Amino acid sequence: MPTIQAAITAVYGWTPDYVLTNAELENMVDTNDEWIRTRTGIHERRILKGEGLGTSEIGFHAVTGLLEKRGIDASEIDLLICATTTPDMQFPATANIISDRVGAVNAFSYDINAACSGFLFALETGSRFIQSGAYKKVVVVGADKMSSIIDYTDRATCIIFGDGGGAVLLEPSEDELGVQDSSLYTDGSGKVYLHQKAGGSVKPATAETVAAGEHFVFQDGRPVFKAAVKGMTSAINNVLEKNQLKVEDIDWLIPHQANIRILNSVASMIGIPEKNVVVNIHRYGNTTSGTIPLCLWEWEGKFKKGDKIILTAFGGGFTWGAIYLTWAY
Ligand code: UT7
């Protein structure tokens, strides 16, 4: 029996309208536009404003756009997976809330939390459901409302993150295009460098934890930076080697948008030219699970059927990896 491959057959992205510029951040914390641009590559990021709007709002718009684009009804979705680190609430899963809002009445749904590698982990999972032959339409969402866990008095983190995300539709490929292979990793000892101190079962929310700002992102940037470069480079090399690919064979490298210096280091260590690396960090910052689907969405018009694409990410956990896929349309 031939192997079934999971192909991305549509992609859609969504970002909120509000633009938080470096100039505005200069009025909030001790920072400046030049430092932010040169140290991170970020010029602006989007922020989801409005009472009662969480990550599901981003997912809702992304999935609605996706379905319209592909011309299918929400009732046709078999499974919806949402990668997020900022769920609407601890439970139920944000994926369930998105499914309900779009009318995916025949889908089961759940969240995956792998921080900045969330979209990769969810894409791998979704593609395995397609490969099983039992599922025909799987939606993978990557979305985060990072502004909900950012301390806007902490210059080490507030300049980096933004809100946004996207969604892809996976369907069985008719010509073996789609997700080909992956190398995914976790190392829980990385927790000390990047985490949220309170609000979970170890340290539930109290008036004291809130007053101490323990529900915000804590990041020790330098060790994360080094581990990110090393982790993404080795994951890409691993996936290239496993598939007997040379770097010249790759049409596009789509890295998680964490820091322009990380992206440049990875690209130069791999030896892939700048023109083949997808970068939009200057406009959206780091949207965690949202960066890769936002890149796919923005670059979709440049991809050709059969293009060889590597996705790579590194994030809290630590989590990291690379996925090799061929573009299906
Ligand atoms: O996506 C999930 C995974 N996360 C990442 O991949 C993030 C990885 N880390 C990074 O991107 C970088 O480490 C940061 C952007 C977070 C920080 O950049 P850095 O070049 O590592 O800066 P640093 O923390 O080493 O700080 C360098 C200097 C310090 O001043 P001194 O001690 O040299 O006087 C900081 O106090 O820059 C100062 N600094 C700032 N100055 C202006 C730190 N943040 C700022 C700021 N504005 N926002």
Q: Are residues 248 and 100 in the same domain?
A: no
Q: Which residues are catalytic?
A: 116, 256, 286
Q: Are residues 72 and 159 in the same domain?
A: yes
Residues, the chain: 329
Q: Are residues 164 and 213 in the same domain?
A: no
Residue 37 CB–ligand 1 contact under 6 Å: no
- Residue-level pLDDT at 189: 97
Residue 155 CB–ligand 1 contact under 6 Å: yes
CB 14 within 8 A of CB 164: yes
Q: Are residues 47 and 187 in the same domain?
A: no
Q: Give pLDDT tens digits for 283-316.
A: 999 999 999 999 999 999 999 999 999 999 999 9
Q: Are residues 191 and 141 in the same domain?
A: no
Among 30, 153, 225, which residue has the most ligand 1 atoms within 8 Å of its CB, making it the best to mutate? 225
Task: Give the mean pLDDT of 99-110.
Answer: 98
Q: Are residues 77 and 189 in the same domain?
A: no
CA of 156 relative to ligand 1 center, distance in Å: 6
pLDDT at 2 over 70: no
Task: Give the mean pLDDT of 197-205.
Answer: 97
Number of domains comprising the chain: 2
Task: Give the mean pLDDT of 99-108.
Answer: 98
Residue 313 CB–ligand 1 contact under 6 Å: no
Question: Which amino acid does the sequence have at 240?
Answer: L
pLDDT at 134 over 80: yes
Residue 94 CB–ligand 1 contact under 6 Å: no
Measured from the Cα of 228, ligand 1's closest atom is: 6
Which of 153, 176, 199 represents a domain boundary (last residue)?
A: 176
Q: Give pLDDT tens digits for 33-61.
A: 999 999 999 999 999 999 999 999 999 99
Residue 262 CB–ligand 1 contact under 6 Å: yes
User: End-to-end CA distance of the chain, in Å?
Assistant: 24
Q: Are residues 89 and 168 in the same domain?
A: yes
Residue 286 CB–ligand 1 contact under 6 Å: yes
CA 226 to chain centre: 20
Q: Are residues 157 and 187 in the same domain?
A: no
Domain boundaries, position 311:
180-326
d(CA 164, CA 47): 8
Residue 227 CB–ligand 1 contact under 6 Å: no
Q: Are residues 135 and 29 in the same domain?
A: yes
Residue with the smallest CA separation from ligand 1 atom 21 is 222
d(CA 319, CA 136): 28
Residue with the smallest CA separation from ligand 1 atom 15 is 40
- Residue-level pLDDT at 174: 80
CA of 84 relative to ligand 1 center, distance in Å: 24
Closest Cα partner for 249 from 262, 259, 236, 232?
236
Which of 155, 176, 197 represents a domain boundary (last residue)?
A: 176
Which of 176, 211, 235 represents a domain boundary (last residue)?
A: 176
d(CA 319, CA 328): 27
For residue 79, the domain's CATH number is: 3.40.47.10
Among 20, 25, 37, 39, which residue has the most ligand 1 atoms within 8 Å of its CB, making it the best to mutate? 39
Q: Are residues 152 and 10 in the same domain?
A: yes
CB 64 within 8 A of CB 103: no
d(CA 113, CA 42): 25
- Residue-level pLDDT at 3: 82
- Residue-level pLDDT at 283: 98
